[in-house]
Amino acid sequence: MEPSHIGGLRLTPLAAAGGGADFSIVTHILPDFMQPQQQDNWCWAAVGTSVGVFFQTGAWTQCGTAAGCLPGGLDCCGDPGPCDVYGYLNTSLTYTKSFNQTIQGTYGASDVEAQVNMGWPVCVRVAWNGGGAHFLAMSGYSYPDDDPSAVTLYLQDSIYGDSSMAFGDFPALYNGGGTWTHTYLTQPNA
């Protein structure tokens, strides 16, 4: 069976186990856009830059984003070492003309779906169980059409690459586990 497209969503029919009946998986996944981070502490710069490039709001680079967001007029492209520090995702998204708003805490599955349906990744901050934090993007979802509550998230990460997992398992089972502390809504602001 061939996939069909309804309202921008790709529906992929699969045979149901046992009975031979058909059901569909509703899937909407944005194209790959996440750049690998170029410095150890630049997840904030990598995510902000990657989203800006995805939205085509400018010819952003991670070192340029870091230089534009960090105080002191540092030359992060010529000498990135002093710029390899923690930063704020809302600042890098604003710099790359890709910021909408920050929400304290988590975001519902249907809310993530609505943002992805508009073509806008949802970025998150995860505080790791072992200490430290990390930024990454949610760039898609899928679920069986007969069970919209069984949502799988598609994630793009500047360190760990692309992956998917059940919405209910994120981020407790994501790369050692953590807590979803902030949600960053994106949109092109060119």
Q: What distances in angstroms separate CA 170 from CA 32, 50, 107, 155, 166, one per listed residue?
A: 20, 22, 11, 10, 7
Q: Answer for the pair 39, 84: CB distance below 8 angstroms, yes or no.
A: yes
The answer to whether residue 5 is domain-embedded is no
Domain count, the chain: 1
Give the pTM: 0.88
Q: What is the pLDDT of residue 15?
A: 43
Q: What is the pLDDT of residue 5?
A: 40
For residue 154, is pLDDT > 90?
Answer: yes
Which residue range(s) make up the domain with 134?
32-139+152-186
The mean of the pLDDT values for the chain is 91
The answer to whether residue 23 is domain-embedded is no
- Measured distance CA(83)–CA(57) in Å, rounded: 23
Q: What is the pLDDT of residue 11?
A: 42
- Measured distance CA(82)–CA(74) in Å, rounded: 8
Q: What is the pLDDT of residue 12?
A: 44
101 torsion bin: left (phi>0), alpha (psi -120 to 50), beta (else): beta
For residue 103, is pLDDT > 50?
Answer: yes
The answer to whether residue 22 is domain-embedded is no
102 torsion bin: left (phi>0), alpha (psi -120 to 50), beta (else): beta
User: Per-residue confidence at 22, pLDDT binned at 50, 70, 90?
Assistant: low
The answer to whether residue 2 is domain-embedded is no
Q: Which two tokens stand for residue 157?
A: 């990460």
Q: What is the pLDDT of residue 111?
A: 97
